[in-house]
Amino acid sequence: MDLLELIIDFHIDGKRQGPGSDEATKKALSFIPQLNEHSQILDIGCGTGAQTMILAQNTNANIIAVDMLPQFLGRLNKKIDDKNLNNRVGTKCLSMDSLPFEEKSFDVIWSEGAIYNIGFEKGLSQWRKYLKDNGYIAVSEISWLTDTRPSEIDEYWINAYSEIDTIDTKLSIIEKCGYTPITHFALDDHCWIDNYYKPIFERSEAFINKYNYSKEVKEFVEAGKIEAEMYTRFKEYYSYVFYIAKRVG
């Protein structure tokens, strides 16, 4: 069985494909100066577009939402159609590490729970050129909330995502990549549990059943459950943190 197909099937009906919430998206947006009908937003790694729709409904901006998975974009296209937003919201199937846009074409780059796929530093430095001078970037990235932590969770996350680091280190990477940090805030429990882990695990039994209780599928779901358990046990030490920053020059 193809792992990518499993991942898609496991996540496509989730509220979001990563931790987040409508409130957190709106809060991050509130730090960005008022956008208008001429503003251009690029939403990278949009998934099925929970945050795309919030951006669309809370601004008059034009939005291009990109993801490498057409299945997720199909869901977002339906939401865009349902809300009659085709005139200013569109999707493109693209890889975030080779975007075809012109330099300085966006006022805002948005990316929730996705930049880790290319790496925080690489994403920030590669995407900067697409922002207009003084444009804004809003990205969420898993970060350590404390300077020290139990070795069990340290090892778990270093193994899963070696770029996980403290907020201070993330802020210095943002600066190094040519941005001025504006603000940051950690995502709360609701973003992880109610909007991410709970909806997917509520379907996990039916999911395993659908694949005839195959060993591979059971292991896949089990790995997800371990991640969720880690969160419950060690959530005081890490979270996704939303970073809002401005392109310098």
Q: Which helix or strand (DSSP H or E) is residue 181 part of?
A: strand 179-186
Query: If DSSP codes are grouped into helix, strand and coil, which group holds residue 44?
Result: strand
User: Considering only 34-42, 91-99, 198-206, 208-216, which stretch makes contact with ligand SAH by CB under 6 A?
Assistant: 91-99
Q: How many CB atoms neighbour CB 35 within 10 A? A: 20
Instruction: Please state, in angstroms and rounded to a whole number, the distance separating the CA atoms of residues 217 and 6.
Output: 8
Distance of CA 33 to the CA centre of its chain: 21
User: Considering only 66-74, 121-129, 172-180, 209-217, which stretch makes contact with ligand SAH by CB under 6 A?
Assistant: 66-74
- Could you tell me which of 21, 102, 121, 110 has the C-alpha nearest to residue 66? 110
Nearer to ligand SAH, 47 or 135 (CB): 47
Q: Which of 32, 63, 72, 157 is the binder for ligand SAH (CB under 6 A)?
A: 72
Q: Is residue 191 near ligand SAH by the rule CB under 6 A?
A: no
Q: Is residue 67 near ligand SAH by the rule CB under 6 A?
A: yes
Burial degree of 20 (CB within 10 A; 0-12, 13-18, 19+): buried
List the x/- string, 111-150, binding to ligand SAH by CB under 6 A: -xxx--x---------------------------------
The distance in angstroms from the start CA to the end CA of the chain is: 48
* Contact (CB, 8 A) for 209 and 248: no
Q: Is residue 45 near ligand SAH by the rule CB under 6 A?
A: yes
List the x/- string, 219-248, binding to ligand SAH by CB under 6 A: ------------------------------
* Interface residue list for ligand SAH (CB under 6 A): 16-18, 20, 45-47, 50-51, 67-69, 72, 95-97, 112-114, 117
